[in-house]
Amino acid sequence: MNEIEAIRARHSVRNYREQRIEQEKIGLLEAMIAECNEKGNLHLQFIEDAGKTFNKLLNKAMGLGSAPSVIACVGPDDELLAERIGYYGEKIVLYAQTLGLNTCWAGTFNPKNVMAEIRDGERLVIVIAIGYGQNAGKDHKSKTEDQVSKAKGERPEWFDFGVEMALLAPTAINQQKFEICLEEDGTVTFTDLGGVHSKTDLGIVRYHFEAGRDHIKAGGGR
């Protein structure tokens, strides 16, 4: 499974089986996390035992209490932290999908029960539930390409496919509050339109867009 296939196959999963993640896969995940931490100036951490991360009533009702493990999304607290976490966290999420694992970005959790190392000057932004889902999740209603993007001139194939992949990005409460614009000089800008965890969402969206763009520019088909 390549990354584009992972984008198309991956859906948020809230109900998990009791099966633990194999040590071999944990090693692969930790290697990917270390790479993302270095590139993104982050301190993301795989926590094998989710413990009581999702012990709140809401999360129990939604099923996240069954998640065996979590990825704690931590990093130096600056104005771009949430977006960086979205970008590199989604890279890890898609990699997990290629390993046969399921995930869910979770903004509602008990931070006191997340067994992560948070150094001075760092902040825990969000967590990612990870494990073997009871199902593969399902599609959600989506906006159209015209609703989330615009181009100041012709729309090349790489731009349209990037937007298509961006529309498959998970966003908080499926809000899809972002805009992607192709400028006259060929650069692409991403705008956060506000909302719950929208800055993290913007990083996730940007990663999806770039995956689609790079796929087409490398000669891949739609």
Burial class (CB in 10 A: 0-12, 13-18, 19+), 204: buried
Q: Which CATH superfamily is domain 3-131 in?
A: NADH Oxidase (3.40.109.10)
pLDDT single digits (tens) 118-131: 999 999 999 999 99
Question: pLDDT of 123-164, one tens digit each?
Answer: 999 999 999 999 999 888 999 999 999 999 999 999 999 999
Residue 197 near residue 178, CB atoms below 8 Å: no
- Distance CA(88)–CA(133), nearest Å, equals 22
Computed on alpha carbons and rounded to an integer, the radius of gyration of the chain in Å comes to: 17
Q: Is there a contact between 3 and 211 (Cβ–Cβ < 8 Å)?
A: yes
Q: Where in the chain is the domain with CATH 3.40.109.10?
A: 3-131
